[in-house]
């Protein structure tokens, strides 16, 4: 890919050890072969002008692409996470590789418009109706890889182990049959045949302690080893904690720890209902935590202890999960604002802390340590937001991004040196039209 020079009006160059916000002005960014080769603040104008604030690419560390079809369809009336889950299962029963590809392509296109350059897809919809394997065992995973490529973003496919429907070991039923490989050996065989394209990587996931018995958690941790990202849903619901305590006499966090599934290569998702012991286990092992505030409030999960987790030693990243909203600026500021609700105090995270969670930390959690920063040698991912919209006008650049901007303020997105979004529009297809078409196809 030919080299391109950009000139950013402002750019965020990462946390400032001296205590500043990391914003520099008039920054020349040279790129070549999909990599950043130079970053020069205070440079004279040259190359392609980027008015506004340029950020590194954002990483959506937790996604269930097909949940996007539920937006605006599950909000009326009373209920809980468990009643919402029935609507999700109904949707899961309708998808096949072709419709999943088309829907995911549109969803990933929406992510690109929001400045997301990499997604972690927590993938458990593996098989056909009744659990029958497709002729190509990884047809659904291949559809997701292809969808991300068509939308112009990178993907880490977090291939998910799902074996039981309850902590007590009940067999999967109904649409859950599509999630299960029967046993760890069957999962490992299918996973071994999962080939990632150039824009993709593979990782592993345990759906939850509800869906993976203890011996199988240990086997999955061994399969991941030190170099493969390992993710797991953790303590999203109090009911999960109660069932786990009744079955194992321990919390879900303790179960993961005893199985050898915690550590710097692991990211747990939600971590909403934790004890002091749980937080210490996560922090002491360097286990990452992916917060999904818009989903956690949409599903009435609760507010997790974000600041306490960070203080314990857990790196924080962000995800849009069920895609009630696809907007990592909203996820970032919600991390701070939810802490204010929980504690009745302000000022738990700096804007730089939150932007790091949305970019650098998310990419690391997904196995892309060379992305999420504007520095020589990093992947050439550039996200430029407007500083003159009705939301951002008059605010300081980084504060505007974290505490005022929305996905609608993203003007240009470059992924691995390729222009994917220009003037707020996807360069490949009409994302809104494709969302409408593909969601109608799977919801009727």
A 10 A CB-CB count for 198 gives 8
CATH number of the domain enclosing 31: 2.30.40.10
> 122, 158 in Cβ contact below 8 A?
yes
- pLDDT, position 84: 82
Query: Within a domain: residue 432?
Result: no
Name the strand (E) or helix (H) holding 105.
Answer: helix 97-113
> 97, 134 in Cβ contact below 8 A?
yes
> 73, 116 in Cβ contact below 8 A?
no
Task: Please check whether residues 357 and 380 belong to one and the same domain.
Answer: no
- pLDDT, position 72: 87
* pTM for the full predicted model: 0.97
Alpha-carbon distance 373 to 211, whole Å?
36
Active site residue 321: yes
> 116, 323 in Cβ contact below 8 A?
no
- pLDDT, position 86: 87
Query: Within a domain: residue 440?
Result: no
Query: Within a domain: residue 376?
Result: yes
Task: Please check whether residues 314 and 387 belong to one and the same domain.
Answer: no
Write out the residue range of the structural domain in which residue 386 sits: 4-56+372-426
Task: Please check whether residues 34 and 75 belong to one and the same domain.
Answer: no
Alpha-carbon distance 419 to 397, whole Å?
23
The catalytically annotated residue of 321, 338, 381, 416 is 321
Task: Please check whether residues 258 and 384 belong to one and the same domain.
Answer: no
> 49, 305 in Cβ contact below 8 A?
no
Alpha carbon distance, N-terminus to C-terminus of the chain: 42
Query: Within a domain: residue 76?
Result: yes
CB-based contacts of 12, cutoff 8 Å, min separation 6: 21, 22, 23, 53, 54, 55, 56, 352, 355, 374, 397, 398, 401
Task: Please check whether residues 249 and 183 belong to one and the same domain.
Answer: yes
Active site residue 123: no
Instruction: Give the domain-ending residue among 365, 384, 403.
Output: 365
Residue 48 pairs with which residues in a beta bridge?
6
**pLDDT by residue, tens only, the chain of 444 residues:** 678 999 999 999 999 888 789 999 999 999 999 999 999 999 999 999 999 999 999 999 999 999 999 998 776 667 777 788 888 999 999 999 999 999 999 999 999 999 999 999 999 999 999 999 999 999 999 999 999 999 999 999 999 999 999 999 999 999 999 999 999 999 999 999 999 999 999 999 999 999 999 999 999 999 999 899 999 999 999 999 999 999 999 999 999 999 999 999 999 999 999 999 999 999 999 999 999 999 999 999 999 999 999 999 999 999 999 999 999 999 999 999 999 999 999 999 999 999 999 999 999 999 999 999 999 999 999 999 999 999 999 999 999 999 999 999 999 999 999 999 999 999 999 999 999 999 999 998
- pLDDT, position 381: 98
Query: Within a domain: residue 150?
Result: yes
The catalytically annotated residue of 270, 323, 348, 426 is 270
DSSP state letters, 310-373: HHHTPPEEE--BT-S---HHHHHHHHHHHHHHHHS---SS-HHHHHHHHTHHHHHHTT-TT-SS
CATH number of the domain enclosing 315: 3.20.20.140
User: How many domains is the chain partitioned into structurally?
Assistant: 2
Instruction: Kindly report the backbone phi and psi dihedral angles of residue 281, in degrees, each rounded to the nearest multiple of 5, phi listed first.
Output: -60, -45
């Amino acid at each position: 890919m030919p080299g391109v020079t950009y000139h950013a009006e402002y750019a965020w160059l990462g946390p400032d050890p001296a205590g500043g916000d990391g914003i520099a002005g008039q920054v020349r960014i040279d790129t070549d072969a999909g990599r950043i080769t130079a970053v020069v603040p205070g440079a004279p104008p040259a190359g392609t002008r980027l008015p506004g604030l340029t950020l590194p690419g954002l990483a959506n560390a937790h996604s269930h692409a097909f949940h996007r079809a539920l937006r605006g369809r599950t909000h009326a009336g009373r209920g809980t996470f468990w009643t919402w889950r029935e609507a999700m299962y109904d949707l899961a029963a309708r998808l096949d590789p072709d419709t999943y590809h088309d829907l995911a392509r549109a969803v990933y296109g929406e992510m690109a418009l929001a400045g997301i350059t990499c997604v972690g897809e927590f993938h458990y919809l593996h098989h056909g109706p009744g659990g029958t394997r497709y002729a190509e065992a990884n047809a659904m995973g291949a559809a997701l890889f292809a969808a991300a490529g068509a939308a112009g973003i990178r993907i880490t496919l977090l291939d998910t182990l799902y074996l039981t429907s309850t902590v007590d070991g009940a067999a999967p039923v109904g649409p859950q049959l599509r999630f299960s490989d029967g046993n760890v050996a069957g999962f490992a065989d299918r996973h071994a045949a999962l080939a990632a394209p150039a824009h993709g990587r593979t990782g592993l996931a345990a759906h939850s302690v509800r869906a993976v018995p203890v011996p199988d958690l240990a086997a999955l941790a061994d399969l991941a080893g030190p170099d493969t990202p390992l993710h797991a849903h953790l303590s999203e619901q109090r009911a999960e904690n109660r069932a786990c305590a009744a079955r194992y006499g321990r919390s879900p966090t303790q179960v993961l720890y005893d199985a050898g599934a915690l550590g710097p290569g692991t990211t747990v998702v939600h971590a909403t209902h934790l004890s002091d012991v749980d937080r210490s286990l996560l922090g002491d092992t360097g286990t990452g935590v992916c917060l999904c505030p818009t989903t956690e409030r949409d599903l009435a999960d609760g507010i997790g202890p974000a600041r306490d987790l960070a203080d314990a030693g857990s790196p924080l990243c962000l995800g849009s999960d069920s895609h009630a909203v696809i907007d990592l600026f909203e996820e970032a500021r919600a991390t701070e604002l939810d802490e204010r609700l929980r504690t009745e105090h302000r000022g738990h995270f700096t804007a730089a802390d939150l932007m790091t969670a949305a970019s650098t930390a998310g990419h690391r959690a997904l196995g892309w340590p060379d992305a999420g920063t504007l520095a020589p040698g990093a992947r050439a991912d550039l996200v430029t937001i407007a500083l003159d919209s009705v939301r951002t006008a008059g605010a300081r650049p980084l504060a505007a991004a974290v505490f005022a901007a929305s996905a609608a303020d993203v003007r240009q997105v470059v992924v691995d040196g390729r222009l994917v979004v220009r003037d707020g529009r996807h360069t490949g297809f009409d994302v809104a039209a494709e969302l409408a078409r593909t969601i109608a196809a799977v919801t009727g």
